[in-house]
């Protein structure tokens, strides 16, 4: 089959490295996120807002993991598949939109986790010392950010919006391909510059997608800076009762989210508009275009990599998740069964357990 550029000059990045990396992503991301989702749904009975967000994030990451084998096959065999083939159409019009939608679901949920942690520290230090946050925003606002019921509503809205985005895109391209019918050039391969750049709808969607990311990125950054300033101001008060462990844990949680967004997702969103502008100028020069394409594909993999590393982040930052995860491997005394049976204990014992969960939720 013919292609828009010479596949004999394919770099190992496309033919070997990316298929290997996406396969590895599947082998690590699928079991890790499946285990995380099981722990959040079956082992943690008294869920905080953070647990609600992280369980939905695990589900999103699980869906993202299912796209990686198809992407591995696309990069390995895209130069062989015909553009009209079933596998090519599946990857381009179903798998790729699903990948991108779940990337932004993850960004949005991580932002709400950071805001929830931000509300925790503001609420616990509010009585000790006033700040701009507590002056401009009512206390009920920070209380809402920490409610599990609000977290459920936020996640439901995110999923509805995601489905509302991916379904029209898939239907649009399916109808478009059906209308083209025999107009599709029979010997054009799946992996080509036109596909990698994307159509008009794909290019237009880059603007709101990049905007959403930078809004979320700046919100997390603002939360981090505000918490640092709030802790510094509150530490001067002799009336502050908040433990140093709580302060350190909250700031560490927000910092980790900021680092994840900066390392995994920021490069992709900075380079995406640069890529589009460059390829429009260099499309006639394959030797110049191809290295740019390699960078774009590697940065997209880096964005997808976040979904595989999230279970490690849960383990490091959430004591409840860490405790139940260790119990699955026989390394901790607590088990899921003991957590579930807590709801069947005596009234006095149950109240004591709820108090412990409340304290734990404040510290996480």
- For the chain, the residue count is 364
Is residue 265 within 8 Å of 43, Cβ to Cβ? Answer: no
Which of 28, 105, 106, 34 shows the shortest CA–CA distance to 69? Answer: 28
Which own/partner contact pairs does 139-148 have at CB distance under 8 Å and 24+ positions apart? 143/119, 145/49, 145/115, 145/116, 145/118, 145/119, 146/48, 146/49, 146/116, 146/119, 146/120, 147/49, 148/47, 148/48, 148/49, 148/51, 148/52
Q: How does 181-190 read in b/e, with b if 16+ C-beta sit within 10 Å?
A: eeeeeeebbb
Name the 3-class secondary structure at 2: strand
Residue 203: CB partners within 8 Å, gap ≥ 6? 197, 276
On whether the CB atoms of residues 91 and 71 are closer than 8 A, the answer is yes
d(CA 22, CA 74): 10
- Write the CA distances from 190 to 11, 74, 277, integer angstroms: 17, 8, 22
- What was the pLDDT predicted at 355? 41
Number of H helices, E strands in the chain: 16, 0
CB count within 10 Å of CB 191 equals 24
Of 213, 254, 222, give the one whose Cα is nearest residue 50: 254
C-beta atoms surrounding 229 within 10 Å:
13
- pLDDT the model gives residue 133: 61
The pTM of the full predicted model, rounded to 2 decimals, is: 0.83
Q: Is the CB of residue 129 less than 8 Å from the CB of residue 236? A: yes
Return averaged pLDDT per consecutive 10 residues of the chain, 364 residues in all: 47 80 95 93 87 94 96 90 88 90 94 88 62 62 84 95 82 66 64 75 81 94 83 59 66 87 94 82 64 89 93 84 83 53 41 42 46
Residue whose entry in the numeric block shows the structure tokens 């019009």: 93
Q: At what angle do helices 286-317 and 18-38 cross, to 10 degrees?
A: 20
Residue 340 confidence (pLDDT): 47
- Those residues whose C-beta lies under 8 Å from the C-beta of residue 192, and which sit 6 or more positions away, are 3, 4, 5, 83
Residue 181 is predicted with a pLDDT of 54
Question: Looking at residue 317, what is its pLDDT?
Answer: 76
Domains defined for the chain, CATH in brackets = 7-363 (1.20.1070.10)
Q: 136: which residues sit within 8 A by CB, 6+ positions away?
A: none
Contacts of 125 (CB under 8 A, 6+ apart): 230, 231, 234, 240, 242
Radius of gyration of the chain, Cα coordinates, nearest whole angstrom: 24
Question: 68 and 22 in contact (C-beta within 8 Å)?
Answer: yes
Rounded Cα distance, 33 and 30, in Å: 6
Where do we find the tokens 């082998």? Answer: 27
From 151, 119, 143, select the one nearest 133 (Cα to Cα): 119
Give residue for tokens 């510290």: 363
- In DSSP terms, 82 is beta-bridged to 189
């Amino acid at each position: 089959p013919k292609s828009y550029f010479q596949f004999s000059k394919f770099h190992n990045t496309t033919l070997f490295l990316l298929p290997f990396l996406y396969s590895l992503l599947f082998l690590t991301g699928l079991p890790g996120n499946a285990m995380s989702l099981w722990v959040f749904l079956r082992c943690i009975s008294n869920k905080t807002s953070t647990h609600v967000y992280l369980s939905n994030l695990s589900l999103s990451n699980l869906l993202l993991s299912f796209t990686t084998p198809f992407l591995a096959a696309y990069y390995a065999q895209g130069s062989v598949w015909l553009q009209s083939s079933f596998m090519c159409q599946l990857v381009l019009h179903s798998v790729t939109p699903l990948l991108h939608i779940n990337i932004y679901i993850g960004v949005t949920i991580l932002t709400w986790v950071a805001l929830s942690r931000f509300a925790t520290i503001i609420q616990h230090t509010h009585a000790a010392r006033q700040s701009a946050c507590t002056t401009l925003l009512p206390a009920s606002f920070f209380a809402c950010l920490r409610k599990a019921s609000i977290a459920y509503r936020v996640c439901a809205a995110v999923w509805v919006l995601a489905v509302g985005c991916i379904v029209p895109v898939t239907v649009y391209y399916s109808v478009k391909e059906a209308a083209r019918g025999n107009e599709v050039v029979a010997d054009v391969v799946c992996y080509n510059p036109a596909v990698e750049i994307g159509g008009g709808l794909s290019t237009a969607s880059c603007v709101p997608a990049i905007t959403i990311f930078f809004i979320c990125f700046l919100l997390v950054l603002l939360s981090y800076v505000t918490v640092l300033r709030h802790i510094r101001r509150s530490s001067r008060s002799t009336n502050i009762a908040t433990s140093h462990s709580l302060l350190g844990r909250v700031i560490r949680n927000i910092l980790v989210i900021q680092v994840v967004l900066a390392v995994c997702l920021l490069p992709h969103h900075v380079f995406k508009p640069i890529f589009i502008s460059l390829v429009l100028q260099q499309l006639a020069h394959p030797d110049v275009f191809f290295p740019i394409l390699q960078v774009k594909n590697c940065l997209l993999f880096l964005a997808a990599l976040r979904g595989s590393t999230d279970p490690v982040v849960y383990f490091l930052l959430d004591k409840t998740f860490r405790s139940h995860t260790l119990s699955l491997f026989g390394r901790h005394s607590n088990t899921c069964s003991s957590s579930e049976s807590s709801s069947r204990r005596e009234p006095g014992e149950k109240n004591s357990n709820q108090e412990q969960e409340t304290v734990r939720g404040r510290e996480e």
